[in-house]
Structure 1
Amino acid sequence: MMAMTRPTVLCFSGFDPTGGAGIQADIEAVAAAGCHALPVITALTDQDSGRFYSLQPVDSELMAAQIEHLLNDFQPAAIKVGLLAGQAALKLVSEVVQVTTGIPVVVDPVLAAGGDGTPLGEGSIAQGILRQLLPFTTLATPNISELMVLATADHQDVDLSVDQANDPQETLAARLLADGCHAVLVTGTHAPGDAVVNRLYRTGEDVVGRSWPRLPGSYHGSGCTLASHIAGLLAKGVPLPRAVDIGQRYAWQTLERADKPGRDQFLPRRLWREEFTIADPEE
């Protein structure tokens, strides 16, 4: 008897040679959701577990050919977008998102390196994401810093005073929703405190916050892991609020089990279930 075919997720991300973030994170987190990743690399990076050195965008003609051949062969059930290193990649991915209507799109707006905060991509990339990509996005997963950059890319006059709103983060998220994004999950990994608080914003719905114990140390690839696993769950038909909840728990568990094969940041252990299955096979 043939096995049931797994849903596929078209993933656009950069290549991280540490394997902690980028396309490897997508592949592993999507696989952990029971789906198959279709990886399209948008940029090659030179980085280690603590420092970012350089970035080289992938040739846009090669990317276009890969996309064409994949879409002629597969029918993705979801799309996940990570690092877009330039306008050419942004244009290609935006076109794909606009023509593959009816499937969920998860955007993790990678604007800086997770290790040392080095800015990634061109200066205008945030404005391009806001205008060309977010109006077609099911879920965006910015951290607080990325939220600020995106929400003010076209709205330099945003007033974050307490007179306007008790929660400036909600004001910023509302900007993205007003620009067409269906839902925004703001991750609290970059905020201080003993807990990481993630908040899901949707138009006309109550804000849903989840709090997770902050783990000691620094982690590389947590955002990619979260967004990709949610994309895999959406590809399987899991409703958005449930997918966000499961995705957060999965991401936290990968960090709880993370190890430190290099000298600096911890790397998420995204396939820990498979490791345990191999070590202790069922009789």
Structure 2
Amino acid sequence: MRAILHNSDYTVTLASFPLTLVFGPFDPTGSDGLPADAITCAILGSHAVSALTAITIQDTAESESVLPCAPDQIDDQARCVLEDMAVQAIKVGAISSVEAVSAVAQIAADYSQVPLVLHLGPQEISSEEVEDQDETEDVVGATLELLVPQAHVVVIEGRRLNQWITEEVLEAAGQELAPAALQAIGADWVLVTGNQQRPGHLVNILVGPDNLTISWPWTAPPERIRDSGGLVATALAALLATGHGVEDAAKKACAYAEASLNQSFQPGMGQRIACRNPIIN
């Protein structure tokens, strides 16, 4: 809906855009997290509103520390937004504690009519201390138990999904396809990106209700680039917000991500950054 206001000096266009609520960390380099997600949403026709889950102290080479937000802060911020504005889709990224996972899961339950896109990517816990490794496992376990069953679409990289099945983080017994292990615990749709079918041949696999399975080629992103699944997940959520169906949104999100990754740039001494406003031929 658009309204045009006129007077002798200026013209103002007021527009109503679909809204996407993004849960995620603040990455100061702009390579991931809320700043990057806001650009992705804008490019794809949605306005991003956000709930901060953590602040990272980092450059393009490494993350020095992660400052998680308190669960009640995450809850308060998300509910302030949701009670004020009608959100059309929700995307959940990295969450740094079991308590925060629980808070987000309760919000998702209270707004179950809004499609939720869950990215199962790396957690924002940078230390290699044993206790932090244990905490990461606890966060993954809580995410699988509390958020996957509420997800309309789960996005996960093929390598991570296969690793979780090998390490028995996920139970895949009796499942013909690895994504079905996530459907077995409640996900409606599962999008696996960059799954290796054979050496040098990667595909995306979308598995939906009634054993619907679609696959299409995926071009490996350039080396030294951050996890690409968050880019796909945000694009998919923004496209759902604008009214696309899951199949169409998944394919368009992957095409957008490929273009963004192929036009990545290296502004510092570390990893490359995806161009979130790519030129698409």
Query: TM-score normalised by the shorter chain: which range applies?
Result: 0.7 to 0.9
Distance in 2, matches of 1:242 and 1:134, equals: 21
1:147 aligns with 2:158: no
Distance in 1, matches of 2:141 and 2:229, equals: 20
What TM-score do you get using the length of structure 1 for normalisation? 0.83
Structure 2 residue aligned with 1:227, among 206, 225, 233? 233
The alignment-based identity, stated in percent, is: 26
Q: Which residue of 2 aligns with 1:244?
A: 250
Structure 2 residue aligned with 1:13, among 24, 31, 41? 24
Gap change, CA 1:36 and 1:57, over 3 Å in 2: same
Deviations 1:97-153 (A, max 9, x none): 111122211000123469999969632111111111111101111112432466533
Q: Which residue of 1 aligns with 2:149?
A: 135
Gap change, CA 1:90 and 1:97, over 3 Å in 2: same
1:45 aligns with 2:61: no
Structure 1 residue aligned with 2:277, among 258, 271, 280? 271
TM-superposed deviation, 1:273: 5.5
Q: Which residue of 2 aligns with 1:26?
A: 37
SS in 2 for 1:98: helix
Q: Are the equivalent residues in 2 in contact too, given 1:126–1:150 (CA < 8 A)? A: no
Q: Are the equivalent residues in 1 in contact too, given 2:157–2:193 (CA < 8 A)? A: yes
Q: Which residue of 2 aligns with 1:202?
A: 208
Q: How many residues align?
A: 264
Which deviates further from its counterpart, 76-85 or 48-57? Answer: 48-57
Distance in 2, matches of 1:154 and 1:212, equals: 24
**What letter is aligned with 2:109?**
Q
Gap change, CA 1:134 and 1:150, over 3 Å in 2: farther
Q: Which has the higher strand share?
A: 2
CA RMSD in angstroms comes to: 2.9
Which deviates further from its counterpart, 231-240 or 42-51? Answer: 42-51
Where structure 2 has 5 or more consecutive residues not aligned to the other structure, the ranges are 5-12
1:65 aligns with 2:81: no
Deviations 1:2-50 (A, max 9, x none): 5430011110011212110111221111111111111111011223223
After superposition, residues 69-218 of structure 1 pair within 5 angstroms as: 69-112=80-123, 122-148=136-162, 152-153=168-169, 155=171, 158-159=172-173, 170=177, 172-188=178-194, 193-218=199-224
1:55 aligns with 2:69: no
Q: Are the equivalent residues in 1 in contact too, given 2:196–2:203 (CA < 8 A)? A: no
Q: Are the equivalent residues in 2 in contact too, given 1:9–1:36 (CA < 8 A)? A: yes
Distance in 2, matches of 1:239 and 1:86, equals: 32
**What letter is aligned with 1:110?**
G
TM-superposed deviation, 1:64: 2.1
Structure 2 residue aligned with 1:255, among 257, 261, 271? 261
Q: Are the equivalent residues in 1 in contact too, given 2:72–2:103 (CA < 8 A)? A: no
**What letter is aligned with 2:169?**
A
Where structure 1 has 5 or more consecutive residues not aligned to the other structure, the ranges are 275-283
SS in 1 for 2:194: coil
SS in 1 for 2:215: strand
Q: Are the equivalent residues in 2 in contact too, given 1:15–1:43 (CA < 8 A)? A: yes
Gap change, CA 1:187 and 1:78, over 3 Å in 2: same
Q: Which residue of 2 aligns with 1:277?
A: none
Distance in 2, matches of 1:223 and 1:132, equals: 20
Gap change, CA 1:45 and 1:25, over 3 Å in 2: same
Distance in 2, matches of 1:144 and 1:116, equals: 24
Q: Which residue of 2 aligns with 1:281?
A: none
Gap change, CA 1:154 and 1:195, over 3 Å in 2: closer
TM-superposed deviation, 1:91: 1.1
**What letter is aligned with 2:34?**
I
